[in-house]
Amino acid sequence: MAEQLSNLGLGGDGDEIAAIEEVEATFGVRLDYSDAGNWSTVGDVYASLLRKLSAYEAARPDLWDRFAQAISRETGIDPSRVSLETGLLAEDRLWVHVTNVSAWI
């Protein structure tokens, strides 16, 4: 098993928005951005995704693999190294950009 990453390496410079948009496009949903201020780990975003999926979609055995690929595509890291505990940003900052963009939209 590959060593788990401490963070995805997103910089808080807009690439986090692209990562979330990739998750939304992969699953055909729009996440609830009111949660974004509390997103600090991959698991936090995954929990938001689960709340948007049907029971059928949420139970699919490939759900985690598809999610890990989508959330990590922006940084090009190996999705097999992503876990629920993996941090989102390279630095310990809140998702202010996502929250601000959602207010703008």
pTM: 0.83
Is position 39 within any domain? yes
Is position 2 within any domain? no
| Segment 46-84, tens digit of pLDDT | 999 999 999 999 999 999 999 999 999 988 899 999 999
Is position 58 within any domain? yes
Length of the chain: 105
Is position 86 within any domain? yes
Range of the domain at 96: 7-104
Is position 1 within any domain? no
Angstrom CA distances, 62 to 17, 30, 38, 71, 100, stand at 24, 20, 26, 14, 32
Is position 76 within any domain? yes
Binning pLDDT at 50, 70 and 90, where does residue 103 land?
A: very low
DSSP SS3 for 97 = helix
Which two three-digit tokens encode residue 52? 């948007």
Contact 18, 99 (CB under 8 A): no
Is position 73 within any domain? yes
- pLDDT exceeds cutoff 70 at 8: yes
| Segment 32-48, tens digit of pLDDT | 988 888 899 999 999 99
Is position 16 within any domain? yes
